[in-house]
Amino acid sequence: MRRAWLNVPIVLCFVAAASTALAGGKNDKGKDKDKKESATSAEPAASGPRRDPRGITGISPFMELANQGAAAYVAQDYAKAIEMFQKAIEKEPERAFGHYLLGEAYLANKQLDKAEEAWQAALRYADKDNATKAKVLFVLADLRERQGKLAEAATAWKQYETFVNANAGVGFAATATERQKVIANHDVLAVEYAKVKERIEQRQREAAEKKK
């Protein structure tokens, strides 16, 4: 199982496009306001998108670094992606989204322990960011399955399901329900297999006794 909806590059390209749109002005009514803000807060755009430390009239340092990380991620240069996401976090250390992206890069680089550390950090900062919190709860539940910790995975999927049901539009409760069913079915099959294995071993012991 893999999370097709959690596509880091697509997410970041969308945000970059939004930043560029903001830099060009939202609408006619807001043009004068944006021009005034641009004159005082945004850097001149000699090349590339307009930059604004606040991310209002141009792309913020955080998002610029995050987009660089996304580009490295797409190129499968996960070490570079990790570096860029870490630099983005340095700009806004309490922004949950940065920690979430860092975890995705660690996961792609097969560093599951570090991925979990990044996601746990994201969870600490995501109280006011329901969309990111939903993603983090999802990836942590998925990680538990990857680790073979099925009891913990079932609990994590239930937590994700509860959160999504309480916050419409931030996730997929049906996925959590499906994963819980799969885990429960796995447990049933494991018990049945154990019984079959015991019967086979018993017959082998009986056959061995008859040969003596």
Per-residue pLDDT reduced to its tens digit, 120-172: 999 999 999 999 999 999 999 999 999 999 999 999 999 999 999 999 999 99
Query: Do 179 and 81 reside in the same domain of the chain?
Result: no
Q: Coil, strand or helix: which one is 51?
A: strand
Task: Note if the pTM is more than 0.75.
Answer: no
Q: If DSSP codes are grouped into helix, strand and coil, which group holds residue 165?
A: helix
Are residues 141 and 98 part of one domain? no
- The CA–CA distances, whole Å, from 54 to 57, 111, 152 equal 8, 32, 40
CA atoms within 13 A on the CB side of 41: 17
Domain range for residue 110?
A: 1-125
Residues 68 and 167 grouped into a single domain = no
Arithmetic mean of pLDDT over the chain: 78
> How far are the Cα atoms of 9, 138, 212 from residue 93, in angstroms, in the given order?
21, 22, 72
d(CA 37, CA 14): 23
**Same-domain status, 15 and 114:** yes
State whether 136 and 73 are in the same domain.
no
**Comparing C-alpha atoms, which of 59, 113, 66 is closest to residue 85?**
66
Is 168 in the same domain as 93?
no
42 phi and psi angles, rounded to 5 deg: -100, 145
Q: Same structural domain for residues 29 and 70?
A: yes
Q: Are residues 64 and 149 in the same domain?
A: no
